[in-house]
Structure 1
Amino acid sequence: MAEPDPEKVARLRAALDAYTPGGGIVDRAEEEALAPVRKRALGLLDQRARSRAELRERLIRAEFEPGLVERVIDDLERTGLVDDATFAREWVRQRAARRGKSARALDAELRVKGVAQDVRREALEQVTPEDEEAVARTLAQRKAREIKQPPAGRAEYDKYLRRVVGVLARRGYGAELAMRVAREALDARIGELEECM
């Protein structure tokens, strides 16, 4: 049988001498204070991904002590459960595809969620001007299809146009793009309706 390493034995003795019952590697009182914060944070993250600032705000609003909140969020960030860059990329990808949001609207949403400007900018690179125009055109065509008869005059045409432009404006599209795409979709729909008459 090999002789024990004297250095290893000395380190173990020093660790045993420093050990105090109730102490040790894990500080039980500290862990008990962090546990409810961690549980609430994981529950919030289980619902959907969140930015660091958004998670902090929700936990502090739940009346957890700010120092404990920061420690829990730091731990979650180290493990990759909180990552603003990943959150922002997913937010942009999903909201652009499913809701037809413009890059401008998505930038505003991420800013409200406390995502840093450089992280927002990088995430928004996924949305090209061509993508935005294609989505805007699809939204305008969908709204224009709701029109069942050609307008009776200029006032009715303008009313239809305002409805189509409104759909695009609410999703953050700029005035020039919204007006151009809305006119194209509306004129095409009116042409279809007139052919059927």
Structure 2
Amino acid sequence: MTDPITPNPEESQAAKLDKLRTALEEFSRRQEEGAPSTLFDREAEEKKAEVRRRALLLLDQRARSRSELRERLLALELDPEVIDEVLGDLTRANLIDDEAFAQEWVRQRAQRRGKSSRVLDRELRDKGVDAGIRARALEQIDADDERATARAVAVKKARSETRIPADRTDYDKALRRVVGALARRGFPAGISMDLAREALDERIEDLKLR
């Protein structure tokens, strides 16, 4: 069976989806005209059409790991064997690529969401990405990157404090709020306390100058 798409790892996800849809439209046109199709086996395509349609709708929303996409399709009570065939097609077309998915997941969520490497590893594991791929994706984050991300989270949270603490009890409450923001993103307790105190003290000094 001829693959309708020549895989190109440098293409965007949207471009790959558009290319696959074009191939499917060509197949449909040939079927309507009664012409033989070299793109797909007719019987196999009829079985896979609905699964492919659902898979593409899910991939339109965002990139997904193979395991995550499979679980979503199974939840729709679609045929597991057909799902696996379609996932194989999409993998060969580079529309499913756990390596690229993990790299992008780590890059985006570390920068935009302020997530720690520990939390990112757990998120990828929950999406069925294997340990080797997770480890390679997390190599993007070194100790300095992790500290910089944690500090950005601490500073952002500290800026939400709008008044100078009245006493030590008040200060400790504010400090716990900043530490809590770091803890929820999976940063270790030691670095969280140091950075939270540093960010809060800077915020208090800023408030004093106003």
TM-score with structure 2 setting the length = 0.78
Alpha-carbon distance between aligned partners in 1 of 2:130 and 2:181, rounded to the nearest angstrom: 28
Question: Which residue is equivalent to 1:182?
Answer: 196
Unaligned runs of 5+ in 1: 1-22
Alpha-carbon distance between aligned partners in 2 of 1:43 and 1:170, rounded to the nearest angstrom: 32
Q: Which amino acid aligns with 1:47?
A: Q
Q: Which amino acid aligns with 1:88?
A: A
Q: Tell me if 1:88 matches 2:102.
A: yes
Aligned CA distance change for structure 1 residues 40 and 24 (closer, same or farther; 3 Å): closer
Q: Tell me if 1:146 matches 2:160.
A: yes
1:64 pairs, out of 75, 78, 96, with 78
Question: Which residue is equivalent to 2:50?
Answer: 36
Q: Which amino acid aligns with 1:193?
A: L
Task: Name the SS of the counterpart of 2:48 in structure 1.
Answer: helix
Question: Which residue is equivalent to 2:208?
Answer: 194
The range that moved more, 134-143 or 175-184, is 134-143
Task: Name the SS of the counterpart of 1:50 in structure 2.
Answer: coil
Q: CA RMSD in A?
A: 1.6
Unaligned runs of 5+ in 2: 1-35
What is the aligned length?
174
Question: Which residue is equivalent to 1:79?
Answer: 93
Structure (1 or 2) with the larger CA radius of gyration: 1
Alpha-carbon distance between aligned partners in 1 of 2:164 and 2:41, rounded to the nearest angstrom: 74
Q: Which amino acid aligns with 2:46?
A: E
Alpha-carbon distance between aligned partners in 2 of 1:128 and 1:24, rounded to the nearest angstrom: 51
Task: Name the SS of the counterpart of 1:29 in structure 2.
Answer: helix
**Cα distance per residue 1:133-186 (max 9 Å; x no partner):** 111111111211222222111211111001101111111111111111001111
- CA shift at 1:27, angstroms? 4.0
**Cα distance per residue 1:22-48 (max 9 Å; x no partner):** x99754332211110011111111111
1:122 pairs, out of 107, 131, 136, with 136
